Amino acid sequence: MYERLLGRAGFRNGMDLYFERHDGQAVTCDDFRAAMADANDADLGQFGLWYSQAGTPVVTARGEYDEAARTYTLELSQSCPPTPGQESKLPFHIPVAIGLVDSDGRDMALRLADEESAHATPDPKTGAITRVFSLTEARATLVFADVAEKPVPSVLRGFSAPVVLRQELADAELTHLMAHDADPFNRWEAGQVLATRILLAGVEAIRAGRTMEVPPAFVEALGAILTGGARDPAFAAECLQLPDEGTLAEQMAVADPDAIHAARKQLILAVALRYRTRFEGAFRHFAVPGAYSPDAAAAGRRALRNAALAYIMAIDDSTARALTFLEFRRAENMTDSMAALACLADSAGAERDRALAMFLDRWKDEALVVDKWFRVQATSSLPGGAARIEKLLAHPAFDLKNPNRARSVLHAFALDNPLHFHAADGSGYGLVAAKVVELDKLNPQVASRLARAFDRWRKYDDGRQAHARAALESIAGAPGLSADVAEVVGRALA
């Protein structure tokens, strides 16, 4: 009956999710699921819990290898945190894609103990040997037979379900997956998890006055990714990106913006110094000849080339600055031009001011491009963040009445420059609070979005909290405050 459903979906009466049939009739999710179950002769009732139960399921995976029995046991469990009106949840139907990686980095054949033959057919594109298991109960145990050595499990390959995966893998195991996993998503994820561990440990070392340790194996794994970048430049570029400062702050009980920034900078510099020659080679090798093309292959090459340039520029010596400035001058597309300008904007060298002046002179009549010029300065990590914002706000090209221009400076600073917005002296908070009040009289919606930069103020130390509270109270006490801003500030202070 519903075999010709269109892909368009919407909400009826603000609540009921529906699909639109080819004849225009609205079909609810329940009707759609019933029709799909009937067409496939399958019971899809449990899938409906994804629609009727709130929250994100958490899947926990624990593995154990028995060398004598040559078996590997993987225990999976699922849970979902309580939400208002739903203190307890029924088990979801969760597809979990699994692979086992051996010590040579190859995928192992997968045979459960109660099966006669193994699944050993690799994916023709990636070489991955993957099986998808349906986790439908609170707990499930998978026992793989004929496992010749202890494997490293690669769980939730391809992000096979929208869940949070909790898995206690050692640093060496994560490094192994990062270097060898045939599944691109899990290879990237392993790198992100490992980098987060290293950076958070570095933060604690810096706070304690110790030297940050950078594991050589992690640096070598990044070097291997760079060396193999030709296979998939876009993927290599993604793998070279470390977790950002906001992500790291969320992993800490009490966030320390200064230590987070320092740890991240030290790790990037360690990688850059170790593989400077390789990064310089990649920068040259992945240049895209000919006229600009937006196709995926060219975009991937540009992404890896600009990632390499960012690592080179992290060294910030005269050679790096000269190379980056030359790239800025030669760039024939906005992607490359902005990548080089962003690198120079974080440098204290003379090339910074020259590049910024040249860019503005060339693009001063293109409003959206000028917005980029403002943003790259507002997000710079150079010292004097609040003073630099004040200078940008006084620039003749800045207009607080222009929402895009306001966002390019104030929102970029407050939401994407945690180092300076969360400055220990409170200068970032005070500046933004004053501009929220001023902006509220012009555009309450834009002002309320800016005020949301204070949402997580309790995540920081007592000193910063005191400054943030004072800034919020100054907004709340402003005469004639709009309902939009008052709601955001009231919720933050509650």
Going by DSSP bridges, is the β-strand pair 58-66/164-167 parallel, antiparallel, or unpaired?
A: parallel
**Confidence bin at 6 (pLDDT 50/70/90):** very low
Residue 37 has pLDDT above 70, yes or no: no
pLDDT for residue 117: 87
Cα gap 123→97, rounded to integer Å: 13
Residue 53: both structure tokens together: 């139960």
Question: Which tokens hold the place of 315?
Answer: 């060294």
Question: In whole angstroms, what is the distance from residue 160 CA to residue 185 CA?
Answer: 10
Residue-wise pLDDT for 122-135, tens only, equals: 888 888 999 999 99
Please name which of 92, 84, 131 lies closest in space to residue 108, comparing C-alpha atoms.
131
Can you give the pLDDT at residue 287? 94
The whole-number pLDDT of residue 27 equals 63
> Is the pLDDT reported for residue 78 higher than 50?
yes
> How high is the pLDDT of residue 482?
96
CATH class of 364-494: mainly alpha
| Residues 6 or more apart whose Cβ sits within 8 Å of residue 189 | none
Average pLDDT, the chain: 92
What are the φ and ψ backbone dihedral angles of 168, each rounded to 5 degrees? Answer: -90, 90
- For the stretch 321-377, pLDDT in tens is 999 999 999 999 999 999 999 999 999 899 999 999 999 999 999 999 999 999 999
Please state the rounded mean pLDDT for residues 425-435: 97
Biggest CA-to-CA distance, the chain: 77
How far apart CA 218 and CA 193 sit, in angstroms, is 11
Q: Is the pLDDT of residue 9 over 60?
A: no
Domains 58-168 and 364-494 share a fold: no
pLDDT, tens digit, 9 for 90 and up, residues 151-174: 999 999 999 999 999 999 999 999
Of 131, 234, 136, nearest to 188 (Cα)?
234
User: 19 pLDDT exceeds 70?
Assistant: no
pLDDT in tens, 273-314: 999 999 999 999 999 988 899 999 999 999 999 999 999 999
The reported pLDDT for the residue numbered 126 is 84
The verdict on domain 58-168 having CATH code 3.30.70.20 is no
Q: What is the DSSP secondary-structure string of 393-431?
A: HTSTT--TTSHHHHIIIIIHHHHH-HHHHT-TTSHHHHH
> What value does the mean pLDDT take over residues 449-466?
97
Query: How far apart, in whole angstroms, are the C-alpha atoms of residue 59 and residue 135?
Result: 9
Find, among 427, 414, 488, the residue nearest to 246 by Cα.
414
18 vs 242: CA distance, rounded Å: 39
Per-residue pLDDT for 147 more than 70? Answer: yes
Q: Which residue, chain included where needed, has tokens 């990688």? A: 271
- Domain chopping of the chain, boundaries: 9-42, 58-168, 169-274, 364-494
Mean pLDDT (whole number) for 417-430? 97
* Pairwise pLDDT comparison (77 vs 26), residue with the higher score: 77
Angstrom distance (rounded) from CA 420 to CA 422: 5
Per-residue pLDDT of 212-267, as tens digits, reads: 999 999 999 999 999 999 999 999 999 999 999 999 999 999 999 999 999 999 99
